[in-house]
Every structure is written in C-alpha cells, then in structure tokens.
Structure 1
Amino acid sequence: MNNFIQPYQFVSIKAHSEQLLNVYKSVNDFKTIETFQAITYDHISQLFNEKHSEIEDFTNIIMHQKIKRAQVEKLILGLRSYVEPFNQPSSKQLEKIFKKTKKLKQPDWENIDLKTTSYVGWNDSGKQKKFIIAYEQDKLVGVVGELSPTIKPGICSVCKKESNVSMFLSTTKSKGDGTYTKNGNYICHDSKHCNQQLDQLDGLYEFIQSVKMK
C-alpha cells in the first residue's frame, strides 16, 4: 500500500472535516454551507502536490450535506491506512543526537500514535528539560531546552494554536565570537496534544531553526 499522507496532512483533513460537519449541523443558510464546502474542498486538495483518487473520493463524499458523523469517522479511519508514520529512531540514535545529556530519558513509545505524530517531544521533569526530535529533509534532528513547570493558556510557537503552553528556553552559540544566547519560545507543554493540533509544518521548522545550536 502506498503511504502518501503525512501525519500533519491527516490531522488537517480530520480537523477540516469535523468543522464542515459542525457547519452542516448548525447552519441553515445554503450559501454559507456552500462557502464552507468550497473552503474545505480547496484546503484538502491543496495539501497534496499530486492528485490521489482516495483523497478526491473522500472530499467528494463529505460534500454531501446529509452525511452522518459516523460515516465521516469511518472514511477518516480508511484514510489513516495511507498515513506514513513517524519513523521511530533507535535508543542509540537518540543518545547520539543528545550526546551531552547523561542518562537520557527515552520517549514513551508505547503511548505515541506515530500516525498522528509530526515530531516527538518528551519532558524530563526531573531535569526540567524538554527534548524534541523531527525529520528535516529525511535527516533526524534534535533540540533540547529548559522547560518551565509553569503552564498557562497561550499560543504555541509550533502548532500555532491556542493551548496550555510553557516556556521552552534554549541556549545557542553563535558562529562568530563564541558567545551564548538564550532563546525563549512558548510551546505546548504536552507534545502529544500539540501534534493533534499540528496541521502545517512551518511553525515546527521555524521553531527548530530558532533553538538549534548555530
């Protein structure tokens, strides 16, 4: 089977389908419904550079105003089989990426849904650290920073959505004079929740670039 859907695309399809269902349920004006249908159709289509019959079939079916939530959930479950899961690295690979960290705490892989995961982030409350790994052009990259135990409502720098966020503080070294700079970003305290809201990757890559060692 060809796995052509990325986790963030799957999350986006699911979110926009649910929004459209809510419009069907709560809006009576036909023009408004038509507008939301067009927005949803265009958004899902533009997630992919190539046309896929599975995506076209899905979007055509959810354009039916009488469709039931259970039917959409079944269709989304069908699309899930085409999702390319996050490529789980080995413990040795992680230790190599975070070689400055002694006794590295490993992610709880058993409780991570790799098909809805665009990046993996895990907290080490003992060290007040957060570790994040992702793939940039198929290369595994990792960043680590101090994670404040204080959680408050705010906008996450990664998923760009409202969430319960904490300050992630990283120390970066400049290329030139060897000085160190501290960079702070508010991000989701819970990376699992962040991934469930992550429907585009720009924020993720911008965040990684801003906190990586220069």
Structure 2
Amino acid sequence: MGTPFIRNHQYNLIKKQAALLQKAFHTVTDPKVVESVRYSAQMKIIEAFPDATELQLQLLNNISAIRTEEQFQHYLHSLEPYMTEFSPVTGKMLNKLFPKTKKLKVPDLTAIDYRYITYLGWNDIATNRLFLVYPLNGQFIGIEGRFTPTNKGVCFLCNRHEEVALFTAVTRMKPVNASPDYYKAIGNYVCVDSGVCNKNMTNVSALERFVQEVVGYR
C-alpha cells in the first residue's frame, strides 16, 4: 500500500461525487447525461488533489469504471487505507492550547477515529463555549468562543443545512496604536454537532480563513 494522502474533507468530496454518479445511473436514461455526470465527478475529485502523484491519480480515477452499487462500495472501501489521520491530541496538549480556561472539559479522545475529522471541536454546555482545534501550517491552533444555539441554518464550515449555533470568537489581531481594551469579535454560524460537520466538510478554505483571521495570520 502507498502512503496515505486523502484527508477527511477530500474523502467526503469523493463520497459525494460517487453518490451523485450512482444516483445518475439509477435515475437517468440518457447515456450522454450519465457520462457527463461521470466526467464532472472525475474532474472535481482530481481538482481536490493538486499535488497527487501519478499512482494516486490512477487510484482516484478508478471511479471511471464504476457501474454497479457493489463497485461503488468497493471503490470507497479501497480508498480508506489511504486516508491520513488528524494528528492525535492529548488532554495535556489541549490544556496548553487553552491556558486561560480553568478546568477545561475535553471530549473522550480515545473514542475518536482521527481519520474522519478535519478539525476537533466540542461544546461546554455549562459555560456556553465552543472549542475548536485545527493544525494550520503544521502547528495546532486552539480557538474558543461563545456558543449561542439558534435553529436550522447553513454552517459556514461545511456549507450544509444543519442545527447551528452562532460561534463568536475574539480575534487576537489588533491594529497599530489600538487602545488596550480594543477587541474585535468574529461571528459565524457553525454546526452544533462537530461530528456531523466533519462528515459534511468537503473543503477547508472557510475553516482556514477563519482560523487565520482569529489568530491574526496574514
């Protein structure tokens, strides 16, 4: 087996495109339309892997030969060994990321399958806080903010219609000559359940922009 190269959000994209193609096989009678859907699926998958090697592209392009439901399942299962893991974290590491939070309540880290998360997120209902951890440029970044449940809405991270809450975090970046009490809050609607959000995510652009804005990266 080759080196793992498929991140969680990329695998979600592959599943989404495979499902669209499978649906076309079951519902569309025009072969030209089906082949158009197949071509679109192939292109979107390949575009998600700009740094893929020739062998990796061949593996991804196996979707071009799929016809039956069994083949769809086999294709997805064949990619699972090539999934990369979100770097495992420990309670000690999380406490260092959130030093200002006393008695930090962390999730059950032993119950997490790190292949299937793009970011680590959890809620502290008692304090109405949401905690988010993401590896940006090889370094874990921890962000916490106020968590205000609302109703159904579109999550800014996964772009899906789910149960969301308003997540408000204070940016660490300050303008030159800002007063000592200056602060700027950034608010976005995010999935209440980070596990659902991780299953939905097919792109990390919004997440990385948010992390960069909060920590002050340019």
TM-score > 0.5, shorter chain as reference:
yes
| Distance across 2 between alignment mates of 1:203 and 1:54 | 26
| Distance across 2 between alignment mates of 1:7 and 1:200 | 9
Is the 8 Å Cα contact of residues 45 and 60 (structure 2) preserved in structure 1? no
What residue is the counterpart of 1:124 in the other structure?
A: 124
| Distance across 1 between alignment mates of 2:215 and 2:193 | 20
For residues 144 and 82 of structure 1, do their structure 2 counterparts lie closer, same or farther at Cα, with a shift above 3 Å needed? same
Q: How far is the alpha carbon of 1:14 from its aligned partner?
A: 1.3
Q: How far is the alpha carbon of 1:115 from its aligned partner?
A: 0.9
What residue is the counterpart of 1:106 in the other structure?
A: 106
| Structure 1 residue matching 2:184: 3-state secondary structure | strand
Q: How far is the alpha carbon of 1:175 from its aligned partner?
A: 4.3
Structure 2: gaps spanning 5 or more residues: none
| Distance across 1 between alignment mates of 2:175 and 2:97 | 20
After TM superposition, the score normalised by the length of structure 2 is 0.89
| Distance across 2 between alignment mates of 1:11 and 1:87 | 18
What residue is the counterpart of 2:188 in the other structure?
A: 185
What residue is the counterpart of 2:206 in the other structure?
A: 203
After TM superposition, the score normalised by the length of structure 1 is 0.90
Q: How far is the alpha carbon of 1:164 from its aligned partner?
A: 1.7
For residues 52 and 188 of structure 1, do their structure 2 counterparts lie closer, same or farther at Cα, with a shift above 3 Å needed? farther
C-alpha deviations, 1:147-204, integer Å up to 9, x for none? 01x2322111112222221100122352431301222111111111111111111011
| Paired residues, number | 211
Aligned partner of 1:212 among 205, 210, 215: 215
C-alpha deviations, 1:88-144, integer Å up to 9, x for none? 122111111100000011122233321121111001101111000011111110100
| Distance across 2 between alignment mates of 1:159 and 1:187 | 8
| Distance across 1 between alignment mates of 2:92 and 2:54 | 37
Structure 1: gaps spanning 5 or more residues: none
What residue is the counterpart of 1:7 in the other structure?
A: 8
What residue is the counterpart of 2:88 in the other structure?
A: 88
